[in-house]
Amino acid sequence: MPGEQPTSIATTPSLPRILHADADLLAMPSASSSSLSLAFLVAGYLNARCTTAPNQASVPHGTDRVRFLTTIPSVLSTHISNLVVLYHALVTLFWTSSSSDLEIIDRLCPYPDHLNAQRVTWNARTVGYLSLLAVGALIRLSAYGGLGRNFTFQLAKPDRLVTSGVYRYLQHPSYTGLVLVLPSFAGLVVNRLDTPIACLIPGPLLALLRDWEIVLGAITGAVLVVTLAVRIRDEERMLREKFGREWEEWHARTARIIPGLF
């Protein structure tokens, strides 16, 4: 009517605008980040299986110079590795361009600038490490299955000499598998201290660790090599005493660690 003020009518946002506004709220981790996160979890599971004793020795052999390393240090390192790979997989899952995922990353990673994005995305390096770890785990777990209840981390005299399966080609297939699994796992979750674990390390400490990275890596590698060498000698001495000529013939026709090389 004349003289009346026009009534203001509230407009309703269009459906496309609503969907655009809520896109980040509804965003889910991408297929790429989800699949890689799952791959890291599988790698962590395989690493845990390969570093956890399948059986306990009922009567440990007397001469076992590295027995201590198979007890508390082994269990502790496995638990730490499990935590590291869980965190690694979680960061990988939410490493997307979604703003909602970026908010989660901000909470997960106190120092996100320390992380190299290549460590949480699919690439040739990641596939290579995952493949080597899978091959190593297959070999080591085959050794677990071949020896059955006789496979223990502490030396113990077996009730029979197994020369079939993977033991037809290798005397120490579990160690062959282990030297593939451990470096591959370390390459995935540690590398050059630019993986998700670096998100938790303050800058000054991270810089110090990176300065000493080569030295620490060399020491770790040397300890692993010496430990395996000592264990192999003790193990072979025990088997020679137990099985005599049968073991000597098998020892002469099979490789210790790598067929055709060693």
**Separation CA 107–CA 200 (nearest Å):** 11
pLDDT of 29:
82
Q: Which residues contact 236 (CB under 8 A, 6 or more apart)?
A: 171, 251
pTM comes to 0.85
* Angstrom distance (rounded) from CA 107 to CA 100: 11
Predicted confidence (pLDDT) at residue 126 exceeds the cutoff of 90: yes
pLDDT at 12: 44
Q: With contact defined as beta carbons under 8 Å apart, do 158 and 247 qualify?
A: no
Examine the pLDDT at 24 and tell me if it is beyond 60. no
The pLDDT value recorded for residue 61 is 61
**Using the 8-state DSSP alphabet, how is residue 255 labeled?**
B
- Residue 255's DSSP bridge partners are 170
DSSP bridge partners of 59: none
Q: CA-to-CA distance for 186 and 42, rounded, in angstroms?
A: 15
pLDDT in tens, 48-61: 999 998 988 765 66
The residue among 171, 165, 166 whose CA lies nearest residue 235 is 171
Token pair for 196: 């998700």
Domain over 30-253 is classified CATH 2.60.40: no
